[in-house]
Every structure is written in C-alpha cells, then in structure tokens.
Amino acid sequence: MSRISVRGFAVASATAVTAVGSVVGVASGSTAQNNDAEAAATDLTFLADIPAGQQAQVQTASLTQQADVQAIAADATAKKDAEEAARKKAAETAIAKKEQAEKAAQEAKEAKEREEAEQKASRDAARADASTFAVQSSYSIAQIQSMAAQMVPGDQFQCFSNIVDHESDWNYRAVNPSSGAYGLFQALPGTKMASAGADWQTNPATQIKWGLNYMNERYGSPCGAWSFWQANHWY
C-alpha cells in the first residue's frame, strides 16, 4: 500500500490542534490544556509516514475540533450578550417603576393639598363676619366669646382666647391708664381698629375682626401670635 510523507500535514495539523487547545484553554481558564496542545504539536512533527487514506480522516477531525471550539465561543458570546441585555432591560424596568411610583406619590400629595385647601376655604367662607351680629348697647363676656368662636378658625381659637385673656380679660372697653391701649387686644393706639369698622369702640365683633387680621398678617396665625406673646409678654 502506498504511503506519503505527511510531515508538512502533521505540522499543519499540530498547529491547528495547538490553536484549538489554546482557544479551549482560554475558554476554560486552564493553562494545562494549552501546554498539552503544544506538546501534541511537537510530537506530531516527528511522526512517521501514515497511510495516505488516513490523511482525510486527520484533516476532518482537526476541522471538527475547530468547529466545536468556534461553536462554544459563539455560544459563550451569545450567552454573555443575552445576560447583558437582560440586565439592561431589568435596570430600565426598575427605573421606569421608580419614576411611576414617584409620580403617583407626587400626584397624591398634590391632591391631598388641594383637598385641604378647599376644605380650609370652605371653613373660612363659613366663618361669621363682624356684620353677622346685631349691634347691641352692651355685650357679656359669654356673648363676646361666642362671637369669637364663630369668627376664628377652630384650630386657632384657643391661642386667640389666650391672648385676649391676658390682654383684656374679654373686656371690649378695657383701657390701659398708662398707655391708652384700648379694647380686647389693647390696640395702641385704639384708633388702629378703625380699619375694621367705625364702631370699633363699642362693637366687640369689629374688634375681633381687627385682632384676627392683625395676628394673621403679623404672625401668620393666632397661634403664631400666642407663641410670640409667651416669649415676650407682648405681641
């Protein structure tokens, strides 16, 4: 049977095997496999002649190994790309959900604030005005306190009452003999209360209107005025 020298083919095949082993070694992280491939290449360069009929088999095996390595590398790359795409998609989904949650929370907050503002406006609109009360020649403390309760917001009434207790003890005709301060709030001068009505000297409702406006404008609310009064004993 005829035989051909396959030294050149053996070297080429060994080179291919070496390349295959290198790729496999890199993919698996094994230095030992790379060294084995190099050793196999060295051994093949010194092989004796082999039957010519087996040349095709050797070449086919080498190409098959190369194809297998390339397929493994392609699968690894595809897997890596798929994982990266999945991570990116998950991150985008998480960001979108967070933005939706923040938007929903903001909308809920704004809706609550609108509702509270509407309720407050409704309560304020329902508050009595100084003109609501019939003018009398004189008023009892109970009547004056009832007027105030109808004119001052409920959550501010106690603070409002505390100030009046300390300033005039609910005497709408109270006069400070030293300064001339006048009325429920000891306005100085008393004529300041004319901005609320010409009957400021005799109508406690007019005085209450002026006092409430003063506290709101200067301190933000009766409770703000009461906090200042507690610290300074005047307001």
130-232 CATH, one of 1.20.1580.10, 1.10.530.10, 3.30.70.20, 3.40.50.300: 1.10.530.10
Range from 122-131, 143-152, 154-163, 213-222 carrying the lowest mean pLDDT: 122-131
For residue 7, give Cα distances in angstroms to 15, 17, 40, 64, 204: 12, 15, 14, 21, 123
Work out whether the CA dihedral 188, 191, 192, 193 comes out positive or negative.
positive
Query: What are the phi and psi torsion angles at 3 (to 5°)?
Result: -135, 145
| Exposed / middle / buried, residue 175 (Cβ in 10 Å: 0-12, 13-18, 19+) | middle
For residue 128, give Cα distances in angstroms to 118, 157, 200, 206, 222: 18, 14, 17, 12, 17
Q: Which pLDDT does position 10 carry in this prediction?
A: 43
**Domain residues of the chain, as ranges?**
3-85, 130-232
Reported as a pLDDT band with limits 50, 70 and 90, residue 49 is low
Q: Which pLDDT does position 4 carry in this prediction?
A: 41
Q: What is the pLDDT of residues 2-42, one digit of tens each?
A: 444 444 444 444 444 444 444 444 444 445 445 555 554 55
Q: Which pLDDT does position 101 carry in this prediction?
A: 85
The pLDDT mean for the chain works out to: 79
Q: What is the pLDDT of residues 152-211, one digit of tens each?
A: 999 999 999 999 999 999 999 999 999 999 999 999 999 999 999 999 999 999 999 999
Is the per-residue pLDDT at 215 higher than 70?
yes
pTM score = 0.50
Residues 187, 189, 193: CA angle, nearest 5 degrees: 60
Is the per-residue pLDDT at 147 higher than 90?
yes
